[in-house]
Amino acid sequence: MNYILSIDQGTTGTTAVLINAKSLEFVDKVNKEFPQIFPRPSWVEHNLNDIWQTVEETIREILNKNNLNTKDIECIGITNQRETTCAFSKDGKPLANAIVWQDRRTSEFCDSIKDKSEHIRDLTGLPIDPYFSGTKMRWLLQNSEEVIKAYKEDNLLFGTIETFLLYKLTGNLIHKTEASNASRTLLMDISECKWSDELLEIFSVPKSTLPEICDSFCEFGKTKGLSFLPDGIKITGMLGDQQSALFGQAGLSTGDMKCTYGTGAFMLLNTGTEIKKSQNGLLTTVAYKENGKAHYALEGSTYICGAAVQWLRDNLKLFESSPEVEQLAKKVENLAEMEHVMFLPFFTGIGSPHWNAEAKAALIGLTRDTGTHHIARACLDGMALSINDLINAMVADTGSPIESLKVDGGAVANNLLMNIQATISNIEIIRPKITETTAFGAALAAAIGAGIIKKEKVLDLWQKDTSFMSIESEVSHYNMKKDKWTKNIKNLFL
């Protein structure tokens, strides 16, 4: 039996997933977390060696766990945290810590080029924000001695995480990316799916340091020189994590939509081959590129979702494991106790639809009788209210009501959160049988790139697990909370 190996390299950990190459059924997964590095307030970094180690460890473990020979792997798919920026030498050695998508250190530079914002948005589909990779590359070229030295010696390569992993997997030979990831850099002309000379000049990034932009489904390269995989396994699919989740949710057609509840929360609406510009704070991105033709999406990005639960776990020590937040929040028996308690989870600024890079998190409305269970419930409320802002922006941009939303990601196992979301947004929340849709989407991309299946086969594989509907008795409470939420954001951050 042959398998597809999917590598899902996320913000807090790496997951290796096995998919049966014949039936395309989910077989198993192994996840390992790695350290988050916070050198200064609003700075977030990852050690690329830590990331590479988790890739190797998860692959070794999943193969051993399932008693597989490495020759049982037919092809590999990669999905990744998107805007996180890597600088490495031509022998594959990291030149600096990766600057994570949540990092805000380039805010001042972004403010300095606001006069170019409309033109840059027309070219890229993106607002000017520290979120995106081009500003991070510029910072590294101006502030990292190792990066500056490597550039002068013609030994500097830039990329997002999938580019770094591809380079390492192929024995430091293949320096490529694909269009969904390249569309997150502020350096790619979204209509041409090519690096823009004009944008490269604005951000002072040399084209020679950038990877080749490819289709999302193709043969990117073959494994070489690894201790944990044999030479010659083809890497045939790569997608940014949110685009991969859209793919895993069978979001192939215009109008298809999903929301992923991960470290952050990200909502994508497939717009087909049309580049649709948002009038309501969303951004335009490439969903995938196939046979030289790009397919696009509108996206709403909330920087903090599951990361807020991690903060309660790691910083406030309210519980030992993230799933415990649900039981703690359920201890709130009377929602009247939550009237004033509100968690604004803006630890790394506000993304869509407000775009305030300087916003900070806040826990407000506390009284002497506020307990840990109230804070846990407020955290879940804040996550759902953030996502509701994205839903409202999608409705405003499309002019069409949203009646249902497919969801995925680790946090959707929290039934209470799903009920809160359904009630706040007054829509049906649909959870699929496979909630690891990001890794599943990458496996499907690899299957298409390897010629195992046609793209349309993806539609037959998606299955619904559970639906969540609005709870009538809680609607008036959450209508009140929505009003308070909007007023607080306006008064504090806009």
Supply the angle between the helices 372-398 and 415-425 in degrees, to the nearest 10.
Answer: 50
H helices of 249-371, in order, are 306-314, 324-329
Q: Which of 447, 19, 72 is nearest to 229 (CA)?
A: 72
| Assigned domain for 400 exists | no
Is the model's pLDDT at 424 over the cut of 70?
Answer: yes
Q: Are residues 390 and 352 in contact, defined by beta-carbon separation less than 8 angstroms? A: yes
**Within a domain: residue 425?**
no
Percentage of the chain beyond pLDDT 70 is 100
* pLDDT tens digit sequence for 3-15: 999 999 999 999 9
Candidates 493, 470, 480, 475; CA nearest to 342 is 480
| Structural domain count, the chain | 1
Q: If you average pLDDT over residues 360-374, what whole number do you get?
A: 94
Over residues 270-289, the pLDDT tens digits come to 999 989 899 999 999 999 99
Average per-residue pLDDT in the chain?
Answer: 94
- Report yes or no on 212 lying in a domain: yes
* Predicted local distance difference test score (pLDDT) of residue 300: 94
- Confidence check: pLDDT of 494 > 80: no
Task: Kindly report the CATH number assigned to the domain that includes residue 102.
Answer: 3.30.420.40
Q: Are 427 and 405 in contact (CB under 8 A)?
A: yes
Task: Read off φ and ψ for residue 75, nearest 5 degrees.
Answer: -160, 170
Q: What does 199-216 look like in DSSP terms, one character per residue? A: HHHHHT--GGGSPEEE-S
User: DSSP H helical segments within 20-105, as ranges?
Assistant: 48-65
User: Average pLDDT, stretch 157-174?
Assistant: 97
Cis peptide before 353 (omega within 30 of 0): yes
3-state helix, strand, coil in the chain (%, to 5): 40, 25, 35
Task: Please report whether residue 58 resides in a domain.
Answer: yes
Q: Residue 391: which pLDDT band, with cuts at 50, 70 and 90?
A: very high
Looking at this protein, which amino acid is placed at residue 214? C
pTM of structure: 0.88
Q: How much is the pLDDT for 1?
A: 63
Asked which of 94-98, 324-328, 451-455, 480-484 is least confident by mean pLDDT, the reply is 451-455
Angle at 419 between CA 101 and CA 324, to 5 degrees: 65
Q: Which long-range contacts does 187-190 make (Cβ < 8 Å, 24+ apart)?
A: 187/124, 187/133, 187/134, 187/137, 188/124, 188/213, 189/123, 189/124, 190/123, 190/124, 190/125, 190/275, 190/284, 190/285, 190/286, 190/294, 190/296
> Is 465 within the bounds of a domain?
no
Question: For 105-127, what is the mean pLDDT?
Answer: 93
CA pair distance 247, 252, nearest whole angstrom? 7
Q: What is the model's pLDDT at position 388?
A: 96
pLDDT in tens, 131-151: 999 999 999 999 999 999 999
Range of the domain at 219: 3-243
Q: 197 in a domain, yes or no?
A: yes
In which order are the strands placed within the sheet that holds 257-261?
Answer: 283-290, 293-302, 265-272, 257-261, 404-408, 428-432, 464-468
The C-alpha atoms of residue 149 and residue 146 are separated, in whole angstroms, by 5
Question: What backbone torsions phi and psi does residue 48 show, to the nearest 5 degrees?
Answer: -65, -30
Determine how β-strand 428-432 pairs with β-strand 404-408. Answer: parallel
Instruction: Establish if 491 belongs to a structural domain.
Output: no
Residue 298 maps to a domain: no
Secondary element (H or E) of residue 182: helix 179-182
Cα 321 to Cα 317: distance, rounded to the nearest angstrom:
10
Lowest mean pLDDT of 169-173, 281-285, 353-357, name the range: 353-357
pLDDT confidence of 454, banded at 50, 70, 90?
A: confident
* CA-based nearest residue to 165, from 245, 52, 58: 52
Q: Would you put residue 33 in left (φ > 0), alpha (ψ -120 to 50) or beta?
A: beta
CA separation for the pair 262, 10 (Å, rounded): 9
